[in-house]
Amino acid sequence: MLKTLRAGLEEKRDLLLGALKRDLGKPPREAFLSEIGVVLNEIDYALSRLRSWTRPRRARTPLIWLPASSRVVPEPKGVALIIGPWNYPIGLLLTPLVGALAAGCPAILKPSEDAPASGQALESFIGKLFPPEIVAVVRGGAQAAEILLQEEFGHVFFTGSQRIGKKVMAAAALTLTPVTLELGGKNPCIVDESAVLGPSARRIAWGKFFNAGQTCVAPDYLLVPSRLKAELIDNLKAAIDSFYGNDPRRSPDYARIVNERHFQRLLGLLKKGKVAAGGESDAASLYLAPTLLEEVGWGDPVMAEEIFGPILPILEYEDLETAIEAVNSRPRPLALYFFSGNRRNRERILAGIPSGGACLNDTLLHILSPRMPFGGIGASGVGGYHGQASFATFTHFRSVMVRSFRPETGLRYPPYPGKLSGLGIIRRLLR
């Protein structure tokens, strides 16, 4: 099944890239990297390790139960329901599908109705690769998801907003179905005085404006020492200009906002604060320029919710402890970014700010490795996936012990008087 999926992705990449262009204006190379290339990488990693992942593992049997043997057997949880988002409508459905297939689970894929071209392409793509009893695609709106969630699944995997994630978890609880929730949050990006501003600005701008900022792990706001703010803004402007030219609207490498509703929501976030760069928009093409926003307060609308768009608020701090306290006054983020040449400061940030994942001196890259699990903490998510963690998500690890009929002792059976005097020895034998 994994080899079939891989061959299909290679063959139909243009079909999928075309759908992503229609839904989000995604540049082909950016779309391939984040929607198809990452899935191919996950498939190759799983194929190279599947034999070891699925092999039963011997476990030590406590001396008191000998002669016996013990093992842990990986088994499929059952049919998986994978509900995807609109921002990466192909990649964030197929990446968890790799884990489900690796674990031996059939799957139902529910694409987002906000990316209709991608959903239609995915339905056609999957329908030609797999019989519906192995992988099926169910398109539709919120009602379709609600109907699906009434059924009993082996596992439910959801990527999307915190608001909908709560509904998914509540619905799954009615059937006691385990869930993975990949949500989001306001991911802080902190720069200290030891950072090299040129490379830092380019890496921040790339991570923020990739897919026009519509990425769950994009830097959501920037914290910078007061005396460095002007210089960092200049470097960010230079990075944006080098990426997209002086008119990003004409750049073939800059995406668009997914729909009118999100476009208007983002425009509303610009009503407070001062635009330091960008701010231009075009409703007809759902274009919003890469925008830097300064003179922002913690209570402003842009800081009240996850932005999910190409707007980067820039706030100042006086010392690192103040920055840590400000970040920790908000829900735990999905990603944490810190730019610093000071090793002690890097360790202080990692120790002081809990997050789903972290990347130091760069952005986004930590989620691209199948060797590391990706997932949230607290309000930013439940569970994780990628690589072996994906396999584990859709797997039940069954403990099996096989005992001999002989010898048979009466120590564990009633009546108990006189049999528990060596309790300390028994506890040691049970280890």
Burial pattern 81-112, b for ≥16 Cβ within 10 A else e, equals bbbbbbbbbbbbbbbbbbbbbbbbbbbbbbbb
pLDDT > 90: what percent of the chain? Answer: 92
Q: Calculate mean pLDDT across residues 5-30.
A: 96
Residue 430 clears pLDDT 70, i.e. is over it: no
Q: What pLDDT was estimated at residue 429?
A: 64
Tokens of 425: 């020895």
Q: What is the pLDDT of residue 407?
A: 86
pLDDT at 420: 62
- Note the pLDDT of residue 63: 86
Please give the average per-residue pLDDT across 389-405, as a whole number: 97
426 has pLDDT over 90:
no
Q: Which residues are catalytic?
A: 182, 216
pLDDT given at position 76: 98
Q: What gap in Å lies between CA 430 and CA 36, rounded to an integer?
A: 49
The pLDDT score that the predictor gives to residue 418 is: 72
pLDDT at 413 over 90: no
Query: Could you tell me the two tokens for 409?
Result: 């002792």
Q: What are the tens digits of pLDDT across the range 155-171?
A: 999 999 999 999 999 99
The one-character DSSP state at 61 is P
Q: Please give the pLDDT value at position 134.
A: 97
pLDDT of residue 421: 63
Q: Say if CB 311 and CB 269 are below 8 A apart.
A: yes
Antiparallel, parallel or unpaired: β 374-375 and 107-110: unpaired
Per-residue pLDDT tens over the stretch 269-326: 999 999 999 999 999 999 999 999 999 999 999 999 999 999 999 999 999 999 999 9
The pLDDT value recorded for residue 343 is 97
pLDDT band at 409; cut points 50, 70, 90? confident
> Is pLDDT at 416 greater than 80 in this prediction?
no
Q: Is the per-residue pLDDT at 233 higher than 80? A: yes
Per the model's pLDDT, the better-predicted residue between 366 and 431 turns out to be: 366
pLDDT above 80: residue 422: no
pLDDT greater at residue 413 or residue 370 = 370
The rounded mean pLDDT for the chain is: 95
Mean pLDDT for 116-129 is 97
Average pLDDT over residues 124-140: 97
Q: Which residues contact 360 (CB under 8 A, 6 or more apart)?
A: 337, 338, 339, 340, 346, 349, 350
Q: pLDDT tens digit string along 332-348? A: 999 999 999 999 999 99
Averaged pLDDT, 241-258: 97
Sign of CA dihedral 24, 29, 34, 36: positive
The pLDDT tens digits for 58-106 are 999 988 888 999 999 999 999 999 999 999 999 999 999 999 999 999 9
Distance CA 114, CA 258 (A): 7
Taking residues 12-30, report their average pLDDT. Answer: 96
349 band by pLDDT with thresholds 50, 70 and 90: very high
Residues with Cβ within 8 Å of residue 139, at least 6 apart in sequence: 110, 111, 113, 119, 120, 123
What's the whole-number mean pLDDT along residues 362-391?
96
Task: Report all structural domains of the chain as residue ranges with CATH numbers, in order of start.
Answer: 2-183+380-396 (3.40.605.10), 188-375 (3.40.309.10)
The residue whose two tokens read 């190379």 is 29
